[in-house]
Every structure is written in structure tokens, then in C-alpha cells.
Amino acid sequence: MKASDVSVPELWLRYFGIAGDAGEYEVEAYLQGMLSFPSTQRDLLAMAANELIDEIARPRAPLSGEFKADGRRDATSGSTDFNGGNKEDDAGAAGGKEAK
């Protein structure tokens, strides 16, 4: 949980929301190895942790159309076409005139 920066209160709230029945202090004690949980509660805690981890924005491999000609990442990556270029770049390559 440390590597994902998910706090114990966040984890406990998600765990409690999916029918976990241990309190926040018990969850913290379990995470520190000072308390054991029944397998059902361990599984609910793992499900809650996985849901929270899945919500964290992670780096992704960019598509070739998400880069400008100079190799920098294009801030308007949502406006790329599937021919490997940016729509604005393609318009500029045509002499500033938009294709109709």
C-alpha cells in the first residue's frame, strides 16, 4: 500500500463500503502484522486495495500520433488522427488550408 500512496483511511472506507466489518484501527493493525483477519475479510481488504490501485493514474505508453515532429509529447493528444499525425500538423502541412 505504501508504493501506491493509498492511505489507511481510504482503504478502510472502500473496504467498509464493500461489506468489510473490521474497524479502521483493526485494518491498520492487520496491515502492520499485529492482527490476523479471517480469509473472507482478507479477501475484501484485497479487493478494496485493488480497486483503489486501479483508480490511480499510471504512466502509459504513448501512441506515435501523440508526439509532435520534434519528439515532444503533444498536449492535444486527443486530437490525433490514425495516420500517425496531429490534425493541426496535417492542416499546416497543406499550406495552412484545411482539406474539405
Quote the cell numbers at residue 2. Answer: 505504501
Amino acid at site 50: N
The number of residues in the chain equals 100
Backbone angles phi, psi at 23, to 5 degrees: -80, 170
Q: What are the backbone angles phi and psi of residue 66, rounded to the nearest 5°?
A: -90, 10
Nearest to 22 by CA among 32, 14, 12, 31: 12
Full-model pTM: 0.59
Residues 6 or more apart in contact with residue 28 via CB below 8 angstroms:
8, 12
Does 16 have pLDDT greater than 70?
Answer: yes
Check residue 89 and give its pLDDT: 47
Q: List pLDDT tens digits, range 49-84.
A: 999 999 988 887 888 888 776 767 666 555 444 444
Measure the CA–CA gap between 43 and 47, rounded to whole angstroms: 6
